[in-house]
Amino acid sequence: MIKEYIEQNRDVIVSTLQDLLRIESVKGHPIQGGPFGMGPASALNYILSLAEERGFVTKNVDGYAGHIEYGEGEEYVAVVSHLDVVPAGDGWTHPPYGAEIHGGRVYARGAIDDKGPAMSTVWALFALKELGIQPKRKIRLIFGLDEESDWQCMEHYFRYEPKPIGGFTPDASFPLIYAEKGLTTFRIDIPADAESMSLQVLSFEGGERFNMVADHAVARVDCHSATAANEFALRLRKSAKEAQMTTSIESEDCIVTVQVNGVSAHASRPDSGVNAVIQLAQLLGSGTVSNSSMWRTIGSWDTKGRGLGIDTEDEETGPLTANLGKAELVDGTYRFYINIRFPIRLKVDQLLQTAQSYLSDKWQVSVIEHLPPLYIDPQSVLVQTLMDVYRSFFDDGLEPRTIGGATYARAIPNAVAFGALLPGRDDFAHKVDENWIVDDFLTCIEIYAEAMTQLSNKL
């Protein structure tokens, strides 16, 4: 019945997905009724209005988050997704908020992370109601607006709303994620040198978000004379060419401006990107620039945390990853933000102590965010029920697995990440030209309708 419902309503289903994706729901300045800015508020209002038009009970909790629900009773099963997105960045082939369909794929920031999957859960719930399928327990779709930043949405929402008995988030990949690494972000503060004999860095910044590989970085360097500036620029261009970096290096009077372009990727998979901050550090570390030893150190950092002495792994969740997501020079202090995904048996205090002891005494390391690891027993009713649903669609022999990402499964009890990326598909989350196969979006509506029904009956 669900499949026929989707086929009959395909055009309107796809058009609502495009409408949602066209909303630029990047976190912005607070507005009345929208603590995370106009974009996220508009995305939530669109989703809730869509449900209200079809007779669903909805609630907007102070603009922090909202929900749609179906069914009766006090206990409920939750599906938690998010409507905020990371900034689009540059270099897109198709407009990042155009939601254009090319070759069977819809292109937009948020297509797979996480507005597309969120919309698939909405239509799954619509299908259940309109086909008269009554769940044993209430089903609630919860939409957060601050997942890509600080999770203030979930903190506020559950201050006023009861927590579910279990559920899932459609914000990872199939078949199922039963464990997620711990997550922390370290900020490393380093005093800027002011040596008159060195080439002086006047300004420096790179990256936009901790949870993205920095795809751009720029520095302005005072070389004290036009001649020295020209020589320095020539030397940097040669080094950049040899290292096959994508750069723009210009000199004007005594100032050299160095811009490096990398490749964005999700911080849980930093090896799939090219870190522009680290590449810029490699260039600056090759000359007599202020803080030269700092630049050489930063330039040697890898994605395993060796530069902080924290490279480690375990059998269940694999190796630690470290992503230098953002950096800046502010009021005479360099700040480097390292987003770390660590194995489930480690503690953040251990990592902090190790990193501080490994670095110079002049470098101060602090924790600015921390989420403990998530682990759900693979033999639990939750996991087994969802795996049965998955196997009813795909007989591929795949087993539940672990990831380095942090999903809203941590925001509620007894929850895992379940989809939405199908096996064998490339993951474009946080990347240029983010997209999702439209037929996969429609398949997920079927999967999630069945998953909601089964969980409401068995948890």
Give ranges for CATH 3.30.70.360 in the chain.
183-371
What's the pLDDT at 193? 85
What's the pLDDT at 196? 61
Which residues 6+ apart lie within 8 Å of 257 measured at CB? 218, 219, 220, 221, 248, 249, 250, 251
Helices (H) and strands (E) in the chain, counts: 11, 24
pLDDT tens digits, 215-262:
999 999 999 999 999 999 999 999 999 999 999 999 999 999 999 999
Please tell me the distance from the alpha carbon of residue 399 to that of residue 379, in angstroms, as a whole number: 12
Catalytic residue status for 231: no
Q: What is the 3-state secondary structure (H, E, C) of 112-144?
A: CCCHHHHHHHHHHHHHHHHCCCCCCCEEEEEEE
pLDDT tens digits, 323-333:
999 999 999 99
Helix axes 115-130, 10-21, angle to 10 degrees: 150
What's the pLDDT at 406? 85
Q: Where do the DSSP E strands lie in 71-215?
A: 76-82, 100-102, 105-107, 138-144, 166-169, 172-173, 177-180, 182-191, 200-206
Question: What is the DSSP code string of 330-375?
Answer: ETTEEEEEEEEEE-TT--HHHHHHHHHHHS-TT-EEEEEEEE--EE
What's the pLDDT at 21? 98
Q: What is the CATH number of domain 183-371?
A: 3.30.70.360
Assess contact for 217 and 327: CB atoms under 8 A: yes
What's the pLDDT at 332? 93
Tell me which amino acid residue 364 is.
Answer: Q
Assess contact for 183 and 322: CB atoms under 8 A: no
**Residue 197 predicted with pLDDT over 80:** no
Residue 452, classed as helix, strand or coil, is: helix
Average pLDDT over residues 346-356: 94
Question: Would you mind telling me the total number of residues written for the chain in this entry?
Answer: 459
What's the pLDDT at 195? 64
Percentage of the chain modeled with pLDDT above 90: 90
Q: Which residue, among 193, 71, 187, has the nearest Cα to 140 in the 3D structure?
A: 71
Average per-residue pLDDT in the chain?
Answer: 95
pLDDT tens digits, 372-396:
899 999 999 999 999 999 999 999 9
What's the pLDDT at 305? 96
Band (140; pLDDT cuts 50, 70, 90): very high
The pTM (predicted TM-score) of the whole model is 0.79
What's the pLDDT at 405? 80
Beta bridge partners of 162: none
Q: What is the CATH number of domain 2-181+374-458?
A: 3.40.630.10
Which residue of the set 24, 69, 84, 114 is catalytic? 84
Catalytic residue status for 84: yes
Tell how strand 166-169 and strand 415-417 pair up. parallel
Give ranges for CATH 3.40.630.10 in the chain.
2-181+374-458
pLDDT tens digits, 390-414:
999 999 999 999 998 889 999 999 9
Assess contact for 201 and 431: CB atoms under 8 A: no
Which residue of the set 69, 114, 146, 147 is catalytic? 147
**Residue 2 predicted with pLDDT over 90:** yes
Average pLDDT over residues 75-99: 96
pLDDT tens digits, 106-129:
999 999 999 999 999 999 999 999
